[in-house]
């Protein structure tokens, strides 16, 4: 896997100037990158059901397969995680089939299987509560068990996948970005690529309360280096400065990562932009 050196702080301060979105901008998207084009064969989407031993109930997951999917080939897998109010269907609004399909057709990404699970790993006997309840947030944090014990084995058993960290990528939007950072930093031997698009608060501790990691512990592994990409919207007032804090904390702890800002807020304009830039850099 090709290592990517951390970008200059200049990119952290990217602004709405012509230079920021010039041909030299490494995060500039192709024209109509998220528009379905005639003559291109796109991945097909299927809804599947698997049993979760973590939650002790059946769970739903969406699986996007390459248009010429065959068990005679093996494919790397990209897992995409939704936000706090979403479920396994939320990423359909971000057109992962179109964005990745266009990249594949342009020769900028390999064929891959895309999996969008429900990240709320809440036990069958637990009342979920509202979208921002403690039970729901705990469910997102518990997804690390669901992912490794239940979901990944199900995908391996039912689809023709390439195994190994170099063939396994995770990414998410908002709370799903927090999940991706949680899994990626906790299990670098399993996930070679980590994308966090407008990641939610709670990854590293602040003066308010506890979090998934202390500032000192939030770092990658020297033994298992990863491609880590974090982005955020220039007008994102939901997660505020947290994406930039995560990127700078990783850098301060010696972990290389890519961080950039783009036009948009806490919305699919930014999340799709993140997916495009992440998908074209994984599975080298």
In a domain, 1, yes or no: no
- Tens of pLDDT along 33-71? 999 999 999 999 999 999 999 999 999 999 999 999 999
In a domain, 240, yes or no: yes
Burial group, residue 267, by CB count within 10 angstroms (0-12, 13-18, 19+): middle
Cβ atoms of residues 96 and 63 within 8 Å? no
Cβ atoms of residues 197 and 275 within 8 Å? yes
Q: Round to whole Å and give the CA distance between 27 and 6.
A: 14
> Averaged over 74-78, what is the pLDDT?
98
Q: What pLDDT does residue 208 have?
A: 60
In a domain, 33, yes or no: yes
Partnered with residue 261 across adjacent β-strands are: 232
Q: Round to whole Å and give the CA distance between 243 and 249.
A: 10
Mean pLDDT of the chain: 91
In a domain, 137, yes or no: yes
Q: Round to whole Å and give the CA distance between 113 and 159.
A: 9
In a domain, 154, yes or no: yes
Q: Which residues contact 18 (CB under 8 A, 6 or more apart)?
A: none
Number of domains in the chain: 1
- Tens of pLDDT along 84-121? 999 999 999 999 999 999 999 999 999 999 999 999 99
CA end-to-end span of the chain, whole Å? Answer: 6
Q: Which residues contact 207 (CB under 8 A, 6 or more apart)?
A: none
Q: What pLDDT does residue 195 have?
A: 98
19 pLDDT higher than 50: no
CATH number, domain at 105? 3.40.50.1820
Burial group, residue 266, by CB count within 10 angstroms (0-12, 13-18, 19+): buried
In a domain, 2, yes or no: no
For the residues of 57-95, what is the DSSP string, one character each?
EEEEEEEEE-TT--TTS-B-EEEEE--TT--TTGGGGG-
Q: What pLDDT does residue 211 have?
A: 92
What is the extent of the structural domain holding 244?
9-279
In a domain, 273, yes or no: yes
Stretch among 134-143, 180-189, 194-203 having the lowest mean pLDDT: 134-143
Q: What pLDDT does residue 128 have?
A: 67
Q: Round to whole Å and give the CA distance between 248 and 251.
A: 5
- Looking only at the bridges linking them, the beta strands covering 57-65 and 113-117 are antiparallel
- Tens of pLDDT along 151-177? 999 999 999 999 999 999 999 999 999
Q: Which residue has the tokens 């960290």?
A: 165
Cβ atoms of residues 171 and 274 within 8 Å? yes
In a domain, 284, yes or no: no
Partnered with residue 75 across adjacent β-strands are: 161
> Averaged over 133-142, what is the pLDDT?
92
């Amino acid at each position: 896997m090709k290592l990517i050196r951390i970008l200059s702080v200049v990119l952290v301060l990217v602004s709405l100037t012509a230079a920021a979105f010039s041909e030299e901008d490494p995060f500039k998207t192709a024209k109509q990158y998220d528009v379905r084009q005639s003559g291109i064969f796109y991945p097909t989407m299927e809804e599947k059901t698997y049993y979760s031993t973590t939650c002790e109930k059946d769970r739903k997951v969406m699986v996007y397969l390459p248009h010429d999917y065959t068990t005679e080939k093996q494919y790397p897998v990209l897992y995409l995680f939704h936000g706090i109010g979403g479920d396994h269907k939320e990423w359909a609004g971000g057109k992962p089939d179109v964005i990745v399909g266009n990249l594949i057709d342009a020769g900028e990404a390999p064929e891959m299987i895309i999996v969008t699970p429900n990240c709320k790993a809440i036990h069958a006997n637990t009342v979920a509560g509202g979208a921002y309840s403690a039970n729901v947030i705990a469910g997102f944090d518990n997804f690390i068990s669901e992912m490794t014990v239940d979901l990944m084995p199900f995908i391996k058993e039912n689809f023709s996948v390439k195994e190994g960290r170099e063939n396994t990528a995770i990414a998410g939007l908002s709370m799903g970005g927090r999940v991706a950072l949680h899994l990626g930093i906790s299990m670098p031997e399993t996930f070679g690529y980590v994308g966090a698009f407008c990641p939610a608060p709670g990854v590293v501790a602040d003066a308010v309360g506890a979090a998934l990691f202390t500032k000192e512990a939030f770092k990658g592994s020297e033994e298992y280096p990863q491609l880590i990409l974090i982005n955020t919207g220039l007008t994102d007032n939901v997660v505020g400065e947290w994406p930039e804090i995560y990127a700078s904390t990783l850098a301060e702890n010696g972990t290389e990562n890519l961080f950039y800002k783009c036009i948009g807020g806490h919305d699919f304009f930014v999340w799709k932009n993140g997916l495009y830039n992440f998908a074209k850099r994984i599975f080298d």
